[in-house]
Amino acid sequence: MKTVHNHNSSGQKYGTGQKILVVEDEEDIADLIQFHLEEDGFRCSISHNGLDAWNRVEKNIPDLIILDIMLPGMNGFDFCKNVKKKYNIPIIVVSARSGETDAVLALELGADDYVRKPFSPRELMARVRSQLRKISTDPDLQHGNLTFGKISVDTDGHTAKIDGIKIELTLIEFRILQLFMENPGIAFSRDKLLDRIWGRDVYISDRAVDVNIKRLREKLGPEKERLETVRGIGYRFRGDNES
């Protein structure tokens, strides 16, 4: 398919041609999101049903998903959980539900961002581009293999193993583990982790950090003690030559 090159109001060209799946049962909102995505040069498909959306993901994996919570067929929480179990696809939840509990639950299930309705289309497009940049090029992240003890990470293949056995990590958990393994012995505050992993424009509670660290520790099994709590600061990863 030919990529259409577009410009925003500042004249910047995007035209990525990347595939975005919009899962939204309100047709006017879905159409609004599609219009702005295509204006930015993205390829967009729309699903109004959670089960239909899951089938679409299985048949043609998108580069990013914009997801509503209240959906027929399969609600957004279950959809997000199922996707993150199998794929490292960024998910931006867009929901009219304003309670903090829903935002925290979505992020705990692996969502990468949470936007409340009514939203600014311009802000949503900025968040889409931000998430896609994170998975394509990050100058702060190394590429190749990282190994400490029984933990091995393939940063290019986005896979992690414990003693040679693959462990299933969400995209957020993988980013946290990669960041720590690339910076052994360095303590990261919760605010710093929020900036580095979720991005500065994502307004969420630091509880999301604690929840993801807890889940990552559980998945690291015999190596979980390497993820240390630094009292009064945050967390650090213990390297091989540290006591």
Classify residue 172: in a domain, yes or no. Answer: yes
Which candidate, 112, 47, 48, places its Cα nearest to that of 80? 112
How far apart are alpha carbons 19 and 59 in whole angstroms?
13
Q: What is the pLDDT of residue 209?
A: 87
Strand order in the sheet with 234-237: 188-189, 234-237, 227-230
Strand order in the sheet with 113-116: 43-47, 19-23, 64-67, 91-95, 113-116
Residue 59 CB neighbours (<10 A): 7
Residues 90, 122 within the same domain: yes
Q: Which domain holds residue 55?
A: 19-136
Domain boundary among 86, 111, 136: 136
pTM of the predicted model, to two decimals? 0.59
Per-position pLDDT tens, the chain of length 243: 333 334 444 444 454 578 999 999 999 999 999 999 998 889 999 999 999 999 999 888 899 999 999 999 999 999 999 998 888 789 999 988 766 788 888 888 888 899 988 889 999 999 998 888 876 544 444 456 889 999 999 887 788 999 999 998 888 888 899 999 988 899 999 888 888 887 765 566 678 889 899 999 999 999 999 999 999 889 999 987 665
Classify residue 100: in a domain, yes or no. Answer: yes
Residues 194, 225 within the same domain: yes
How far apart are alpha carbons 36 and 29 in whole angstroms?
11
Q: Which DSSP letter does residue 194 get?
A: I
